[in-house]
Amino acid sequence: VQLQASGGGLVQPGGSLRLSCAASGKIASIANMGWYRQAPGNQREFVAVITSSGLTNYLDSVKGRFTISRDNAQNMVYLQMNDLKPEDTAVYYCNGLIRRRAFTPGDTYWGQGTLVTVSS
């Protein structure tokens, strides 16, 4: 199983980016999918999560600006980021709780990260 994140880049404050993450390999089902980020010198922090039924939760500082969504048929998760701020600058990682076989607990897999830089 692999997760491949994409969509990062350089954007000005107030701008928008959309991150994508594709899960591939032997996958029976995916439970939660989420995004984390790690800024230079900081620990990795939770950003957003979405369950298989579409329930979501967000880091307080991104509520109202970021939206997480998923396409279960394509094993994809997205993060729409609007009104970006310099403090959003970080490497963004996707993850997923993935079952390779039915009726098993599953394991958490991580993507490789995509860099988002918010700067004028």
CA distance 62 to 24: 28
Q: Please list, residue by residue across 107-116, b when 16 or more beta carbons sit within 10 angstroms of its beta carbon and e when fewer do.
A: eebebebbeb
* Residue corresponding to tokens 């900081």: 42
User: What does each of the 120 residues of the chain score in pLDDT, given as a tens digit?
Assistant: 999 999 999 999 999 999 999 999 999 999 999 999 999 999 999 999 999 999 999 999 999 999 999 999 999 999 999 999 999 999 999 999 999 998 888 999 999 999 999 999
CA 97 to chain centre: 12
Residue 60 DSSP symbol: G
- Torsion-angle region of residue 25: left (phi > 0), alpha (psi -120 to 50) or beta? left
